[in-house]
Amino acid sequence: MDHTAIYKRWLLKNTDARLKTELEAIAGNEEEIRLRFGRRLEFGTAGLRGIMGAGTSRMNLYTVGQATQAMAKLIASNGSGAMARGVCIACDSRNNSEEFARHAACVLAANGVKAYLFDALRPTPELSFAVRYKGAIAGINITASHNPKEYNGYKAYWEDGAQMSLENSKKVSDIMETTDVFDDVKTMDFDAAVREGKIVLMGRETDEAFMKCVLNEAVDISFVKKAGLKIVYTPFHGAGYKIVPEVLGRIGVTDIVPVTAQFTPDGDFPTVKSPNPENPESFSMAADIAKSVSADIVIGTDPDSDRIGVLSLRGGEYRHLNGNQVGVLLLDYVIKGLKRSGRMPAHPAAIKTIVSSELFRRIAEKNGVKLFEVLTGFKFIGEKMLEFEKTGEYEYIFGYEESYGYLKGTYCRDKDAVVSSMLVCEAASYYKTRGMTLWDALDEIYGEYGCSLEGIINVTNPAFATPAQMGEVMARIRENTPESIGGYKVAAVRDYKAGVRTDTATGEKTKIMLPKSDVLYYELSDGSRFIMRPSGTEPKIKIYFLTDGESTKECEGKIERFRQYAKSLVK
């Protein structure tokens, strides 16, 4: 069936009044109809994510229902016991999130799969925690993380609390291919499902259990009481607005100045261009408040409260630390704190993604902590944690990805801005008692382990509209290996899609012991790394620069050269 025929069928079968209005508005607009109905929203390693609206390539009640019907079939294939264990469901503050979450619960209930639904928005890490806390077989989280307001998404989790494996994601995707969005999706009345016990609401009890686990991950809160830390906090209109301040209060951070205008959950995110803690400009309102109250630090959590951004004073200004800088600060603080208290496990392990700072590796290895590297995405960190749990060979102490996601502890299997906020406040308090800011601490770390800086650019292009098109661009680059990048010779190429590392001088090839992924990783003669990968959720190619040098100035110079090269490479 071509896109025009699918569009006409949606006009006929759709019962959602808002979507009906959209469908009628695009009548005769061939290009818009093709964009909305020319492809299906793909269920990938991160589930679903897309712009909300009418169409098979959009996030709406029908695509959510189709994905949930496929989830229900996968769960049913695991037997009646799996169906009885149920699925935990959460959502963030985005427009339509609550409606999508309730619909998912109703689809599961109609298929005989028990649903545990949070009574209001909750942080993503609490959903990951709840899956294991309730003994559920799976989890569903309605969120698009830090994407612009037009987006929503559907993250799927499995029984270990981590996002669904590649194998199970493919099974869901395959089932969706044969599941008609109108005729094959079962559903039932929400209130009836609650009365019959097919949908069970979760609330404060789960919050308390989650916060207890977070608080157990504190390293040393004695510094918090000594320092008298003053922080400015913003949840960017999202799910962190209750639990983050409550956890901080329980460790003794009582001087919390809220960015009041950003505390009300609001899917339009009216006070920011983008609710993304990765972007320094998102903190303009918070930084102004910090100046007015002389705060020590600023903390911001994204709409689903799994990522955290931090500002600290440097030269009289509140400067934004990037994701790698926060990661190395926290790892160093955690390791040294565990050693001071005699609580370092016998076989500690830390995990980072392949695009994250090599400084993280140096800190771990110098302190006797085994460093593991995984593909981009916290699900792969979660899988490694499960491996440690099964084998008992290592004990996980900390993991991170450069895109502002961190986790200490094994109570959940996804990045957690709640525990990260607590640890940042602990570290800031510790350094404050020494008369230092977080930036001072970072300089101290550079002095101890060597200087590293990282950069990233996102290259967008209309030609990257689909994963296939981005794959074509990557294939072209893959076929033309450069001799040098930014003036530095390419010493080796890791092609994660082929699963091979090639030494450019000798031609020697070694196997990469990670799952295959469309990533090109260039090791340069000066020790720097230049990495390219297509985004899994947006039409862009991400290019990372990992540099080492004698000073931050030297590293900054390298990053600028790599940035210029990257711009010329992808057109």
> Residue 266: CB partners within 8 Å, gap ≥ 6?
93, 237
Environment class of residue 81 by beta-carbon count within 10 Å: exposed (0-12), middle (13-18) or buried (19+)?
Answer: exposed
Q: Please give the Cα distance from 529 to 513 (Å, whole number).
A: 19
> How would you classify residue 117: left for phi > 0, otherwise alpha for psi between -120 and 50, otherwise beta?
beta
Please choose, from the candidates 546, 533, 545, the residue with its C-alpha nearest in 3D space to the C-alpha of residue 497.
533
The beta strands (E) that lie in 293-419 are given as 297-301, 308-314, 317-321, 348-353, 370-374, 395-401, 405-407
Q: Please give the Cα distance from 462 to 571 (Å, whole number).
A: 10
Determine which helix (DSSP H) or strand (DSSP E) holds 20, and give its type and residue range: helix 17-25
Choosing from 93, 145, 282, 429, the catalytic residue is 145
Q: Please give the Cα distance from 214 to 76 (Å, whole number).
A: 33
Q: Please give the Cα distance from 213 to 215 (Å, whole number).
A: 5
Tokens matching residue 322: 């990037």
| 8 A C-beta contact, residue 454 and residue 547 | yes
Q: Please give the Cα distance from 119 to 90 (Å, whole number).
A: 9
Residues facing 374 on adjacent strands: 353
Active site residue 145: yes
Q: Please give the Cα distance from 508 to 265 (Å, whole number).
A: 55
Which residues does the annotation mark as catalytic? Answer: 145
